[in-house]
Amino acid sequence: MPDTLLSAIELATGDSPKSSVIWLHGLGADGNDFVPVVDELGLPPQLAVRFIFPHAPMQPVTINSGFVMRAWYDVLNQDMSFREDETGIRRSQQEIEKLITKEKDRGIGASRIVLAGFSQGGAIALQTGLRHPERLAGIMTLSCYLPLASTLAAEASAANRDVPIFMAHGTADPLIPLPLASLSREHLKQLGYQVEWHQYLMPHSVCQEEIQDIGQWLQHVLA
């Protein structure tokens, strides 16, 4: 019996897409969250991109009193980098690897695939992309942090040592504070990664300036 895939929303910006963006939502949201952003990215019509917005599984979340919601992994305490749900993080990593394989089976090479995500979704994009055995087009992470940071040096894929990384964060983020994101950026830089860093005057959200920057970055890495 074949492995089941996460259910997902798909949206293509043109006929016969030549690139794919797998974009992961944050805690408690679902794949619909970032669908409206696609039209705001300003991508040229000749850049045919398939956007995949998967839905995370439903599960209890400890920090939310065990309330069941869509989550890529459990959040055990407020300091997310101190005590992490390693099992859940790695399970979601495997699920995103299946989505990458599906795109490759549809004729999209790994070098034409971007992994993206917001908050928890961004953490899983980093977890998966930096360990993927083939070079990706890029990793885009919004309002997130680097999960399982202590394991990255030993597990990092040589193929993605120079992968373009877009990291963006709000200066007034109350959920994932800017200093935590900055520490993640510095950890990546110390390991030799090239990080394109952006910060915006906003809380744990996205803003129009950020969307414009994302659109320009996608055009660059998918050119």
Which tens digits make up the pLDDT trace of 20-50?
A: 999 999 999 999 999 999 999 999 989 999 9
The identity of residue 57, as a single letter, is P
8-221 homologous superfamily: Alpha/Beta hydrolase fold, catalytic domain (3.40.50.1820)
Q: How many helices (H) and strands (E) in the chain?
A: 5, 9
Task: Specify the pLDDT at position 78.
Answer: 79
The identity of residue 128, as a single letter, is T
Q: What is the pTM assigned to this prediction?
A: 0.96
Task: Specify the pLDDT at position 81.
Answer: 64
CA pair distance 143, 173, nearest whole angstrom: 8
Active-site residues, by number, are: 119, 173, 204
Report the share of the chain in percent with pLDDT over 90: 95
Report the share of the chain in percent with pLDDT over 70: 98
CA pair distance 112, 105, nearest whole angstrom: 13
Which tens digits make up the pLDDT trace of 124-177?
A: 999 999 999 999 999 999 999 999 999 999 999 999 999 999 999 999 999 999
Contact between 207 and 173 (Cβ < 8 Å): no
Contact between 151 and 187 (Cβ < 8 Å): no
Contact between 161 and 197 (Cβ < 8 Å): no
Whether 5 has a pLDDT exceeding 90, the answer reads: yes
SS3 25: coil
Determine the average pLDDT of the residues in 9-14: 96
